[in-house]
Chains A and B, each alone.
Chain A
Amino acid sequence: MTLRNRWRKTLSYFMLSLTGVCAVVAVSLLFLILGILVYNGWQSVDWNFFTKLPKPPGETGSGMANAIVGSLEIVLLATIMGLPVGFMAGVYLSEFGGKTFAFLIRYMADLLNGVPSIVIGIFVWTVVVRRYHFSAIAGAVALALILIPITARSTEQFMSMVPQTLREGALALGASKWRAIATVVVPAAYRGIATGMILGVARISGETAPLLFTSLNNQFWGGGLSDQTASLPVMVYTHAMAPYDDWHRQAWAAGLVLLFGVLLANIAARLILSRGIAVQK
């Protein structure tokens, strides 16, 4: 083998191993992140964490019960507002859309999907908070606005994957169009649709920026949905940036709980989807 060929071969081995290193680095990042969070946070994730309110630094028995409940409230409200709208919009795009209008809606949805969530927060601030006040509802609106285009596009994507012949089969039996959609097309696509929804909800439950000027934060139990409300992501932020070690520990704990929830939802959704595609011939 000539020297040049030996060099080429060595280079080849080297570069290809390098790509392997890159891939290993990328994968290990996830475990690294989880590891660091667990290492720093597990001790503070105790019963108090889930049941007590945040205490001033230096006091023991601090928790983030209000943030956990607050997050659940806001995300639930956002889901109720956003999922049906997104789903229906997706159904329109896939089943009814005329060429130009559907194209426009699709374009707008993609546009919204690309807008930084903090800008959405500003928008909701101008429309809701400026007229009323900081509230959980405002936070939920912001999250819903993020959820709607995600859900619409993923619903559309999975519904258009349903083969046309299934629709025609239903129509040929005398079903009206909406009936065919509801009883054949949606059931055929439900795994993908459900996955998209779960992933969307998981995504918004981790969002911090849009909550910063809508639901703000609250060290105590809020006065209900129309009051400032604590949320887990915002708590992580405020506690991490504070100068107290106590609060840092709480931040780690909150981060761990938040990440755990988000990852769990993601894994569950992906497993549903992959099993579904295997079954669907």
Chain B
Amino acid sequence: MATSAAVSAPPRRGARAFVRRLRSGDEIARLITLAFATSILLVTVGLVYELWSTSSLARQKFGLSFLTSSTWDPVAGQFGALPFIYGTVITSVIALLIAVPIGLGAAIFLAELAPARLSSAFTFFIELLAAVPSVIYGTLAWFTLVPLMRDYVDPFLKKTLGFLPMFSGTIFGYGYLTAGAILAIMTLPFIISISREALLEVPVEQREAALALGATRWESTWQAVVPWARLGIFGSVFLALARALGETMAVTMVIGNDPSIHASLFAPGYAIAAILANEFTEATGDIYLQSLVCLGLVLFLLTIVINALARLLIIATTRRGSAHP
């Protein structure tokens, strides 16, 4: 009957094996699911292609100076990305400066101090924050946060820190600082959620070793537990950053829509996502539109890089199970 020659384990070789698999339906199932999976590939490739080709006019005309020019003049046909990159980055940085300390603090509390049920309940509510749509954050920011900033927070900052250029200037209520503030609230749940998980993975022995040496509870947490989880915490920060960079509606509603660069945080500015939301459908003329698409490309690349970094950090945590010095 059959030869006893080396037979590699199916289902890899041979037309006969293929037909057999086909008949059993396995191959069909594999091909169908493969087709659907390939669609993801196609979409990604298509996305990159369209972004690239639909911005070709702008790229040809401006080249890399697109990234450094701060002129945005649709009438004259001159477009530069700098004010928007500036606004996007500044608001995200402000968001992180506010959200990381609060988020890390909350994560420490939930992972180290709170009893398990309280921790789960709190985490449940905090994670629901992440589900609130951006436009709702924007509405809240516009009607509630802006007056708050204008009437209380900004004047206070101006009075106390007004010697710094970033806290001087006219107060409008909307602008970089307010946008940063609402972004902080939006990114908070991500920082808390991921940092908390990173902290929970820290072996209990780490904290106990510190305590056994006479450290206070805070010292053992801050000096032993948190450093161990630092890769995951950094990962959460990068993830939050990536989300902040791409957030559209909330930022659009409170940033002030001024395509120039200001040193003062009270001043209105612009972000990439915001100008896309506002002007994309109004853009007349190819160069205008293509410059906007080029902005979209810049945002796309920015978020990919940050996301990739975030994932590397988070994967590094889970794979090694500890922070490496």
Contact = CB atoms under 8 A, between A and B. Distances in A.
The answer on direct contact between A and B (beta carbons under 8 Å) is yes
Interface of A: 8-9, 11-13, 15-16, 18-23, 25-27, 29-31, 33, 36-37, 40, 84-85, 88-89, 91-93, 95-97, 102, 104-105, 108-112, 114-120, 122-123, 125-127, 145, 148-149, 152, 176-179, 181, 199, 202-203, 206-209, 212-213, 216, 233, 236-237, 240-241, 248, 251-252, 255, 258-259, 262-263, 266-267, 270
Interface of B: 24-26, 28-30, 32-41, 43-44, 46-47, 50-51, 54, 101-106, 108-110, 112-114, 122, 124-129, 131-140, 142-144, 185, 188-189, 192, 216-219, 221-222, 242, 245-249, 253, 273, 276-277, 280-281, 293, 296, 299-300, 303-304, 307, 311
A111 B281 contact: no
Given A88-B33, A258-B135, A258-B136, 7 more contacts: A19-B113, A26-B188, A97-B37, A111-B307, A116-B300, A126-B54, A206-B136
A26 B129 contact: yes
Contacts of B281: 212-213, 216
Contacts of A105: 37-38, 40-41
Contact of A177 (B29, B102, B131, B216): B29
Residue from A104, A108, A149 having most chain B Cβ neighbours under 10 A: A108
26 contacts: A8-B219, A9-B216, A16-B221, A18-B105, A19-B109, A23-B109, A23-B110, A26-B192, A30-B128, A84-B36, A88-B37, A89-B37, A92-B30, A111-B44, A112-B43, A112-B47, A116-B303, A118-B299, A123-B50, A177-B24, A178-B28, A209-B277, A237-B139, A240-B139, A240-B143, A267-B128
Interface of A is mostly: helix
A125 B280 contact: yes
A33 B30 CA distance: 46
Residue from A93, A123, A125, A251 having most chain B Cβ neighbours under 10 A: A123
Contacts of A236: 135-136, 139
Given A122-B276, A212-B281, A108 B44 contact: yes
Contacts of A207: 133-134
B277 A118 contact: yes
Contact of A152 (B40, B101, B124, B300): B40
A16 B217 contact: yes
A126 B216 CA distance: 59
Interface of B is mostly: helix
Contacts of B24: 176-178
B188 A29 contact: yes
A204 B247 CA distance: 14
Contact of B29 (A40, A178, A263): A178
Contacts of B245: 116
Residue from B113, B129, B136, B311 having most chain A Cβ neighbours under 10 A: B136
Contacts of B246: 114-119
A23 B114 CA distance: 10
B135 A233 contact: yes
Contacts of B34: 92, 96
B37 to A, nearest CB: 4
Contact of B248 (A117, A258, A266): A117
Contacts of A213: 280-281
A12 B216 contact: yes
A240 B125 contact: no
A206 B109 contact: no
A91 B38 CA distance: 12
